[in-house]
Amino acid sequence: MQSQDLQHFIDHGHQVYLPHVSIDCAVFGFHENELKILLLKWKHLNGWSLPGGYILRTEHADVAAHRLLKQRTGLDQVFLQQYHTFSGPGRNKIQDSSRAIETNYHVVIPEDNWLKERVVSIGYYALVEYSKVTNPQPDALTETCAWCDIHELPTLLFDHQEMISEALKALRAQLIHHPVGLNLLPKEFTMLELQRLYETILDTTLDRANFRKKLLGLKILKKTGERPSGKAHKTPHLYSFDKRQYAKALKNGISFS
Amino acid sequence: MQSQDLQHFIDHGHQVYLPHVSIDCAVFGFHENELKILLLKWKHLNGWSLPGGYILRTEHADVAAHRLLKQRTGLDQVFLQQYHTFSGPGRNKIQDSSRAIETNYHVVIPEDNWLKERVVSIGYYALVEYSKVTNPQPDALTETCAWCDIHELPTLLFDHQEMISEALKALRAQLIHHPVGLNLLPKEFTMLELQRLYETILDTTLDRANFRKKLLGLKILKKTGERPSGKAHKTPHLYSFDKRQYAKALKNGISFS
DNA sequence: TCAAAAGTGTTCAATGTACACCCATGC
DNA sequence: GCATGGGTGTACATTGAACACTTTTGA
């Protein structure tokens, strides 16, 4: 960001963005049998945070979340779900993040500036295909945007540790009533890969035979006909999601106990 | 509200309250086998709304919701659940409600006043015991606060029709995984009353014998020993909730299919 | 031919569903 | 007695969980 743009953002940002409200997104991906989450390493603070930002004055929060994710991942059409709004008055994001701006740009933000006021944050979680996020982009105040293993999280800033826990809870609850996978897996996948995804999210192990029967019973999968060859052992079938049936299952709900 | 208080609220309310964020509560009660919701009839607008209000600058949204409900119902310790945040930029609450202030108090609110800016609203639903809300209080801009049957809703202002639909959806989802009733029924009740509550919320009919078995199987009920006499036919047992077991069930979840 | 992974089948228990039957009470 | 609602039992279907068996492939 240029310094004159920055000054404009500090002085007039509240005319463009809705003050006191922000968005934070927990972006989940699946890679090598591990659930990953997209995090940003801050430049002048000792820790990482979820990607987030402000809502435009005339913008729906859902649209803002999509816009912000597009900036970080380059992806459109991401599966996004609002799950909770965090309103603790003690959330010290404001102080910390405006301090980061001051340090980074060598400016002083007045105490009564909109960037130093309390913010309520709307939490979203997103499910994306890991391999499609090849080059996640940090923003002006962060130096790195990277996937982190959900079991090996770095130091998190603000209340983002809680945000991630709650997002995981919401994702697990969602998994029981709605199919998950279309957004996390590549177009074609094996039954075992799908099972590993479920096992990872639910943090448990599942019976291979029963998982197969249950998923096929949902009628949301179709065989692609192709089989990956060249590998050792019996080659598994490849499946893809039947988009029509998947959408129906999303709408009406399923039961994955 | 006195006119000088009002002028202070218009001019300086943004220093006390967090602007751009509000709270709306869908308060549910159960009476005569019908699910009721608490609504406010506005003075200068043709319609009703949910009770709501602003969050204090230093206040958690959950606390604000409790405070607002106490003002309307007189009740403390209400069961409250955040369920969704409504952020449509087209929510015309702002225009309408500030217009109501202008009409009611014969004042003019400047166009750039905080009361005319866009508001994002955090939606809560509450479950209360109908009989404990004996005299619900309207606020300064409303003339009536009353219970309305969920199946016979009056004209609703703003986006509150959607808020109620979503609150009902959330309540139904909650019902499947967590016990509901402690907050909606009187201390002692019959099995049939409990069944009617479930039937009303889920909008279905349930088998009497199976409902009984399932609920007793949850181990959250205990017989009070007493039986209401004087009525016709066989007198039913009275039950109450086992608070300890109920709390455990709330925390760990149950399965009511 | 053997190990490893995929695919299928079978058994048993738990749960859900439908419904029948008896019991208690006031008229 | 009998209508009405409360309380209980049973039979059957559906589902879930555990696990054994067969098939296919590459080494």
- pLDDT single digits (tens) A43-72: 999 999 999 999 999 999 999 999 999 999
- C-alpha distances (whole Å) from A81 to each of A23, A44, A166, A187, A243 are 12, 30, 12, 21, 19
Provide the pLDDT confidence category of residue A93 given band limits of 50, 70 and 90.
low
CB-based contact A87 B58, cutoff 8 Å? no
Q: What's the whole-number mean pLDDT along residues A188-202?
A: 96
pLDDT interval class at B90 (50, 70, 90): confident
Q: What is the pLDDT of residue A5?
A: 84
Q: Would you say the C-beta of A234 is within 7 Å of strand C?
A: yes
Domains of chain A are 3-161 (3.90.79.10), 189-252 (1.10.10.10)
Provide the pLDDT for residue A92. Answer: 61
CB A24 within 8 A of CB A51: yes
Q: How confident is the model at residue B189 (pLDDT cuts 50, 70, 90)?
A: very high
CA of B149 to C1' of D5 (A): 27
Q: pTM for the whole thing?
A: 0.95
pLDDT value of residue B4: 79
* Separation of A133 CA and C5 C1' (Å): 30
Question: HEC string of chain A?
Answer: CCHHHHHHHHHHHHHHEEEEEEEEEEEEEEECCEEEEEEEEECCCCCEECCEEEEECCCCHHHHHHHHHHHHHCCCCCEEEEEEEECCCCCCHHHHHHHHHHHHHCCCCCCCCHHHCCCEEEEEEEECCHHHCCCCCCCCCEEEEEEEECCCCCCECCCHHHHHHHHHHHHHHHHHHCCCCCCCCCCCECHHHHHHHHHHHHCCCCCHHHHHHHHHHCCCEEECCCCCCCCCCCCCCCEEECHHHHHHHHHHCCCCC
B235 touches strand D (CB under 7 A): yes
CB of A106 within 7 Å of some strand C atom: no
Does residue B255 approach strand C to less than 7 Å at its CB? yes
Q: Which residues are CB-contacts of B23 (< 8 A; sequence separation ≥ 6)?
A: B52, B53, B54, B55, B61, B64, B65, B68, B121, B122, B123, B124
Contact between A18 and A27 (Cβ < 8 Å): no
User: Quick one: pLDDT at residue B227?
Assistant: 72
Distance B233 CA to D1 C1' (A): 15
CA distances to A29, A73, A123, A167, A183 from A130, rounded to whole Å, are 5, 10, 21, 18, 9
Question: Across B120-246, where does the E strand assignment appear?
Answer: 120-127, 142-149, 221-223, 239-241
Q: Strand D contacts (CB < 7 A) among B residues 13-32?
A: none
> Cα distance from B27 to chain A (closest Cα, Å)?
19
Phi/psi-derived region of residue B62, left when phi > 0, alpha when psi is between -120 and 50, beta in every other case: alpha
Residue B229 has pLDDT above 70, yes or no: no
A117 against A91, higher pLDDT = A117
Q: Beta B52-56 vs B17-31: how paired, if at all? A: antiparallel
